Amino acid sequence: MRRIPSLSLSLTRFLLALLAVLASGLQSAQAMPDFARKYNLSCAACHAAYPRLNKFGEHFLDNNMKLPNWKEGTVSGGDDMLALPAKPSLAVRAQAYVQARDGKSIDPVTGAALDASTDFQSPYLVKLLSSAPLSEHLTYYFYAILAEKGVNGEAIVEDAWFRHDDVFGSGIGMQLGQFQLSDLMFPRETRMTFQDFMAYRMAGITYDRGVLFDRGVGLLDLAVGLVNGNGIEQNFNINSPGYRRPDKMFDNDSSKTVFGRVGTDIGPVSAGLFGLAGEQKNAIGIAGQDSGIRDTDKRIIGLDLSGNIAGNIYWYGQVLWNSWDDFLVQGRDYEWYGGFAGVDYIPSDRWAFSALYNYADANDLANTDTIYEGIDINSLTLTASYYFMRNVKGIGEVNVDFLSEDRQSGTYYTGHLSKEHYFLIGFDAAF
Amino acid sequence: MRAGRRAAVFVLVAMLATPCLLRAVDSGDLFRPRRFQVDSVPGGAEVFVIGGRVGRTPLTLSERDIYPNWYPDEQAHLYGVIVLRKAGCAEFSRNVDLDDIAVGIEARLDCGQDEVADAQVPVSDPAPASAPVADAGMTPAAAATLQRRLRQLKVLQELMEDGLVTEQEERTIRKRILDAP
């Protein structure tokens, strides 16, 4: 086990004191996100504790993020074909952290390691969000992140979509744009922990571009979607060979990834079955870091369960079984599984406590001397959130890594070469 | 193993220290949800929210009384709504918004002429019956309002003497009675 730096305790005291000083300036902050502003409602109407949604918040989301009085405050000028928001919708989410950690940045080729056992991660991100109903059935939502995770000089658009909640009067909802496939289960944006739902990232079911249809049928909630399957960062010039045309391709092949979920409530438990079938490029190059040109099959089966106890305890669990055929070596199939489980306890308007357990086993990807050996995690995250205001919280979080440290083997520096304990404190605000 | 123990101590101290420090920097109304006043004219109306009956006016509610994190589907139409009922008066219903939470709700119940007549009859103190200001050229409606306020103040005084409201609550309610149009 890697030794915790001897300065950790005194450093922790320093950081906590710093937090105290900074916090004192935030207590009087008056801030509310845009939905609360539009409808003149408290954040408490939709959030059990920001950003976790309560039952009404879920209902608001299902109702295309609008309330029946959405037209109040819009500008029409007497034109019944116009309901222009009186002001452009805009909200901000900002996060800043200070972290002490064991994890390193290790070059898989040379083994050179960058080690920052203490780290000021501020701003962690600045997110600009906008959403509003545009008609009785059409809503838009998007956000852009500035300087996400220290990548300054860059803005990235993640969620960006239109949603019509009653296509051709069929009762079917249709969402077109960029979104996370995993939002069908547990939206990462509304998690209470800094630590991510790692299985979603490892399985590659976060952001993609496509279309999603959904409808309630009796006791079932059905959703089926198609996405390009190559994420949200690629684009390719279209040309008459040697002469560029103005348009671009967003996808890198003609195949599409199909996915869906069937959900229902079984007593107090919400359960869902997720499935995905698509293609991904094979991994090639040094330690499998590069993307090849061969299309390989990718399949996922997922099971999610969640529930609420006494209105202030939320529990959830997710398992994903993954099959990546021919991914590294043609003719060989790779299977691995992962998941997470967590609980959020919200005893008051001021406090929330969360626990998140992440687990993944690289299984067939283990000992391949590629970066995909990194699909291995076994960690417990504990988080305390203190709400200075409904929309401003301070968090303290500790992550305990139960995996043992691997010895380097093979040609490259891959696998679990450093422990991933961390402790962080910081702020998370939306206004 | 020593490193493991030190890591465990580190984690324990960190987890204990963080909430304590956060609590220290924001000492005040910890664990107390945001609250707002509900009152009515006439007083004593039964108050209902999504969770059912919560008392009679005047009373104090928390945001979570009207915005519970969970509710039965069949009660969804009552989410964020407060309903006041009093015999002889029309039901009062309101969707609570941020302004209501900030300043409180004072519901003027529609009780018809009977209520006005009732308000002009002193409950126990004969002094208001002389209504000297009414004699000084006040309209009947203004005189009725004055009589009602006097009665409310007297009831409030009794509630405080009986320990049913605190001094602070008494001051708040008194101010609301006197400030009411």
Whether B79 and chain A come into contact, CB under 8 Å, resolves to yes
- Give whole-number Cα distances, A180 to A126, A187, A289, B167, in Å: 19, 8, 23, 54
- Per-residue pLDDT tens digits for A151-177: 988 899 999 999 999 999 999 999 999
How many CB atoms sit inside 10 A of residue A144's CB? 16
Q: Which helix (H) or strand (E) holds A120?
A: strand A118-133
The candidate with the shortest Cα–Cα distance to A337, out of A358, A355, A316, is: A358
Q: Is residue A1 part of a domain?
A: no
pLDDT at B170: 78
- Per-residue pLDDT tens digits for A302-314: 999 999 998 899 9
CA distance B92 to B84: 5
The answer to whether B13 contacts A9, with C-beta atoms less than 8 Å apart, is yes
Average pLDDT, chain A: 90
pLDDT at B114: 52
Whether A350 and chain B come into contact, CB under 8 Å, resolves to yes
CA distance A189 to A201: 13
The candidate with the shortest Cα–Cα distance to A418, out of A397, A395, A401, A430, is: A401
Q: At what angle do helices B140-161 and B112-119 cross, to 10 degrees?
A: 70
- Could you tell me if A215 and A172 are in contact, meaning their C-beta atoms sit under 8 angstroms apart? yes
* Residue B22 pLDDT > 70: no
Which residue in chain A has the smallest CA separation from B67? A45
DSSP A140-165: EEEEEEESGGG-TT-EEEEEEEEEES
Phi first, then psi: what are they for A347, rounded to 5°?
-75, -20
- Per-residue pLDDT tens digits for A177-187: 999 999 999 99
Whether A386 and chain B come into contact, CB under 8 Å, resolves to yes
Q: Is residue A2 part of a domain?
A: no
pLDDT at B6: 59
Q: What is the mean pLDDT of residues B11-26?
A: 57
The answer to whether B70 contacts A16, with C-beta atoms less than 8 Å apart, is no
Which residue in chain B has the smallest CA separation from A347? B31
Whether A151 and chain B come into contact, CB under 8 Å, resolves to no
pLDDT at B16: 58
pLDDT grade for B87, boundaries at 50, 70 and 90: very high
The DSSP symbol for A136 reads S
The candidate with the shortest Cα–Cα distance to A222, out of A154, A288, A151, A173, is: A173
Q: Give pTM, 2 decimals.
A: 0.78
* CA dihedral of B155, B161, B166, B168, whole degrees rounded to 10: 70
- Could you tell me if A423 and A383 are in contact, meaning their C-beta atoms sit under 8 angstroms apart? no
ipTM over 0.90: no
Q: Which two tokens stand for residue A346?
A: 């919200």
Average pLDDT, chain B: 74
- Could you tell me if B122 and B129 are in contact, meaning their C-beta atoms sit under 8 angstroms apart? yes
Q: Which helix (H) or strand (E) holds A296?
A: strand A290-309
Residues of A in contact with B101 (CB under 8 A): 42
- Per-residue pLDDT tens digits for B33-60: 678 999 999 999 999 999 999 999 999 9
CA distance A289 to A299: 21
- Per-residue pLDDT tens digits for B122-176: 333 333 333 333 334 556 667 667 777 777 777 777 777 667 777 777 778 877 7
Whether A315 and chain B come into contact, CB under 8 Å, resolves to no
Phi first, then psi: what are they for B57, rounded to 5°?
-70, 145
Q: Is residue A3 part of a domain?
A: no
End-to-end CA distance of chain B: 74
Whether A421 and chain B come into contact, CB under 8 Å, resolves to yes
- Give whole-number Cα distances, A289 to A108, A212, A234, A328, A373, in Å: 9, 31, 17, 11, 12
* CA dihedral of A70, A71, A73, A74, whole degrees rounded to 10: 120
Residues of A in contact with B4 (CB under 8 A): 1
* Residue B30 pLDDT > 70: no
Check the CA dihedral A239-A243-A248-A252 and report its sign. positive
Q: What percent of chain A has pLDDT over 90?
A: 77
pLDDT at A315: 97
pLDDT grade for A10, boundaries at 50, 70 and 90: very low
The candidate with the shortest Cα–Cα distance to A212, out of A235, A249, A179, is: A179
CA distance B170 to B161: 10
Whether B22 and chain A come into contact, CB under 8 Å, resolves to yes
Residue A275, SS3? strand
Domain boundaries, position A221: 8-430
- Per-residue pLDDT tens digits for A43-67: 899 999 999 999 999 999 999 999 9
CATH of the domain at A173: 2.40.160.10
How many CB atoms sit inside 10 A of residue A400's CB? 17
- Per-residue pLDDT tens digits for A276-290: 999 999 999 999 999
Left if phi > 0, otherwise alpha if psi is -120 to 50, otherwise beta: which for B18?
Answer: alpha
- Give whole-number Cα distances, B157 to A123, A200, B162, in Å: 55, 62, 9
- Could you tell me if A353 and A385 are in contact, meaning their C-beta atoms sit under 8 angstroms apart? yes
CB contact residues (below 8 A), chain A span 36-55, against chain B: 36, 39-42, 44-45, 48, 54-55
Q: What is the mean pLDDT of residues A217-242?
A: 93
Write the single-letter amino acid at B39. Answer: D
- Give whole-number Cα distances, B35 to B32, B39, B49, B101, B102, in Å: 8, 13, 14, 7, 9
Q: How many domains does chain A have?
A: 1
**Half-sphere exposure of A324 toward its Cβ, with a 13 Å CA cutoff?**
21
Q: Tell me which residue in A4, A24, A48 faces B10 most closely, judged by beta carbons.
A: A4
